Every structure is written in C-alpha cells, then in structure tokens.
Amino acid sequence: MTQRHISHPEGLPACAAGHSARHILDLRGVDRGGGHLVECKCRATSKHAEPDQALAEWRRINRPARSARKVMPAIAAPAPAPDNIVQLDFGTALTTPARRKTAGGVHGRR
C-alpha cells in the first residue's frame, strides 16, 4: 500500500462543510505524484513534499468566512423644511371618463 494515514493528537480542523479531515502521506516520490495531502469528503489539498505545507493549505482553504466590516453611519442630511415641499396631485388629473355600454354587446370591440 502506498498511502498512510497520519494521525494528529490535536486533530485537524474540519472543512467549511463540517466534514472531518484526514492527513494522508503518499509514499511515492513527489516527482511521481506522492507527498502529503489533507482531505475530507468534499475537498482535498494538492500534494506537498512537507506536511506543514499541506496543513497550511488546508487551514487557508477552510478558514471561516470573514464578517463584513461595520459601516460607519453617514451624516444624515437635514430634512427639508415643510414650506419647501410642493405636493402635486397626479391621481385626479389623469382620470379617464367612464365607458358607456353599447347596445348589442361588445362583439370584439373594446
């Protein structure tokens, strides 16, 4: 078997989806596709020659999302004075006259 599971006494951080991680050492040479990698059910790191590099990449891709920065409230513009506001009544100006019913029904006309 060319792969070994390496256990860590402190454990590895879970992935962003909550899956437990495992550290794998592929015993083939790095030039032949071997090396250290950390994987879970949904993702894995690339293979590295050093175990610290694989662990650092795992922590980097699974770090918790940063919270948004608090935005400082903008200085509110003063409200316009009530005598400065003009209210236009557009609702009554655009009323259409009521339609009259024609004798004999609509017959395709509207």
**Tens digits of residue pLDDT in 75-93:** 666 666 677 677 777 776 5
**Tens digits of residue pLDDT in 90-101:** 776 555 666 666
Q: Which amino acid belongs to residue 38? A: V
**Can you name the residues that pair with 70 across neighbouring β-strands?**
none
Closest to 30 measured CA to CA, from 14, 56, 9, 53:
53
Strand order in the sheet with 35-39: 3-6, 22-26, 35-39
pTM over 0.85: no
